Amino acid sequence: MINPLWLRTLQTLIDTGHFTRTAEKLFMTQPGVSQHIKKLEQACGYKLIERDKKNFEVTEQGWQVYHYAKQLQNQEAQMLSQLQPDHAYSGFVSLSCSGALALLLYPQLLNLQCKHPELVTQIEAAPNRKILADILSGETDLGIVTQAPQDKRYVIEPLSREPLCLMLPIKYQEIAFSASSLSDLGLIAHPDAEQYLSLYLTHCGDEELAQIKIDQLPLSGYVNQLSQILLPVAKGLGFTVLPKSALDGFSQKDQVYVHQALQVVDQPLYLVSKQKPSTPLRFKTVIDTIKATLHRHQ
């Protein structure tokens, strides 16, 4: 088993980016930090950092060990919170959901933590499949997914429906729009673009749009950071389809036009957790905040 102290030293070194600050933070000497890193490299069998005078670069193997150390830290925090007496405003809660929902919910969960500093919520953006797997494995406590799993190991609660929007440059507010407009613009792709676009074109009620073949649409760009996807749209470089919540949190939303579909296109949201004898009170506090936030944005 790898010494957890060595893992903590590597994690702190990468977080601080400096040997001296790491030594100060861990109440060690700088040679002691170096010794921990050397022993950890010997245990792993790979170089974890490449030194360059006073600086260093993290190797690919180093990043893998770093993420493993972070995972162990989160598991420990979760375990310790579960040892505490059940309290509505104290403990650790992990939540996984889509990137759009993460942008919407995270500020409200931070506000909750400001009111109750001992109630710590960790939020991760992930696809449905990973969310469900992490709930069963214990990696996450709560998940929000768009398809309810048919598995009795989960507790499933319908939350709301999330509208999907076809988003174009603002000039399309004043000019005629047609299916050819999408081909002229090109798609700003993202990890969920094909799924969202297929759902939108199928259910928007526009027969012309329903005939579009997604694989034949030209690409005008690809972005995998949700907060950045709408930037090229705002600059007139393409179109995309995203949940409405992604636009609500975008700073340049006055430069984005939402096409009014003949029929509303949305997808259901389900709150999912693992079957337990009882739901911890802190979970209920976080769930109430999630429900209130989603209700305000309907």
Among 14, 95, 77, CA closest to 287: 95
- Give the pLDDT confidence score for residue 45 in this predicted structure: 93
Number of other CB atoms surrounding residue 57 within 10 Å: 9
Q: Are 93 and 286 in contact (CB under 8 A)?
A: yes
CATH placement of domain 4-73: 1.10.10.10
Tokens of 140: 């996450």
Number of Cα atoms under 13 Å in the Cβ half of residue 32: 13
Q: Where in the chain is the domain with CATH 3.40.190.10?
A: 85-161+268-296, 162-267
**What does residue 99 show for φ and ψ, rounded to 5 degrees?**
-60, -40
Tokens of 182: 């999408």
- Give the pLDDT confidence score for residue 174 in this predicted structure: 87
- Give the pLDDT confidence score for residue 142 in this predicted structure: 96
- Give the pLDDT confidence score for residue 167 in this predicted structure: 95
Q: Where in the chain is the domain with CATH 1.10.10.10?
A: 4-73
Domain 162-267 CATH assignment equals 3.40.190.10? yes
Give this prediction's pTM.
Answer: 0.64
**DSSP letter, residue 239:** B
- Give the pLDDT confidence score for residue 81 in this predicted structure: 67
- Give the pLDDT confidence score for residue 195 in this predicted structure: 86
Fold of 85-161+268-296: D-Maltodextrin-Binding Protein; domain 2 (3.40.190)
Q: Are 14 and 62 in contact (CB under 8 A)?
A: yes
d(CA 254, CA 241): 17
Q: What does pLDDT average to in each consecutive run of 10 residues of the chain (298 residues)? A: 90 91 90 92 93 86 92 80 77 89 90 94 89 91 92 93 93 88 92 89 91 91 88 95 86 92 91 90 94 85
